[in-house]
A and B are shown apart, each in its own frame.
Chain A
Amino acid sequence: AQKVTQAQTEISVVEKEDVTLDCVYETRDTTYYLFWYKQPPSGELVFLIRRNSFDEQNEISGRYSWNFQKSTSSFNFTITASQVVDSAVYFCALRISDTDKLIFGTGTRLQVFP
């Protein structure tokens, strides 16, 4: 079975703090893709990053960084020097290559206070 777990329901930080959002996934497939999406209060799902199962190289994009570790089935997301505009719900998702099925976690609500 495929599953995505985001154990942190809600995180609150003060601006400029670093914050890490956890994501643990389950799949028996060898080829899969992992994603992070941001859902601001306006409701749309904004794509942030994708990773395929063969590429464990970590990635940094500005204040955002992602740590993919197959050994622990985790794909964690870190925001450095958080800002109020980062306040949103963040979803981790898993897509299975052979079926194209896209499964989401339950999301982590991040609140950044000034």
Chain B
Amino acid sequence: EAGVAQSPRYKIIEKRQSVAFWCNPISGHATLYWYQQILGQGPKLLIQFQNNGVVDDSQLPKDRFSAERLKGVDSTLKIQPAKLEDSAVYLCASRPTGVLNTEAFFGQGTRLTVV
């Protein structure tokens, strides 16, 4: 079974530029999460989708971050414009909705450096 795919693995941009990250979850997984992990901290949930609907985006800085999940499969997370404090690893995870006793599966993450 293929895992959660994320791209790119690394990205370096200047502040005020825009950037987009892509995530392909495990086939059949309706729930998709985006997390931000700043160096030395735990993953912080940015947004949670179920199929193509947003379940929770309470911690997404909506003035600069946006995310979408067209057709309930792949998802993209965008930052525009980026700030220095956005430097972090962005993790995508998925799990099958409706199956209670399962864990979330994580991708390898995208490491963003804003200079």
- The answer to whether A91 touches B33 (Cβ under 8 A) is no
Say how far B96's CB is from chain A's closest CB, in angstroms: 10
What is the interface residue range for chain B against chain A?
Answer: 20 to 34
B9 to chain A, nearest CB (A): 10
Most buried by A among B43, B55, B91, B97: B43
Do A107 and B101 form a contact, CB below 8 Å, given A101-B56, A102-B93? no
Given known contacts A35-B103, A52-B101, A101 and B48 CB-to-CB distance under 8 angstroms: yes
Closest beta carbon of chain A to B55's beta carbon, Å = 7
Q: Is the CB of A100 within 8 A of B42?
A: no
Of the listed stretches B19-27, B64-72, B78-86, B104-112, name the one at the interface; the rest are far from the partner chain. Answer: B104-112
Question: Which A residues contact B (CB, under 8 angstroms)?
Answer: 6, 33, 35, 37, 43-45, 47, 50, 52, 91, 95, 97, 99-107
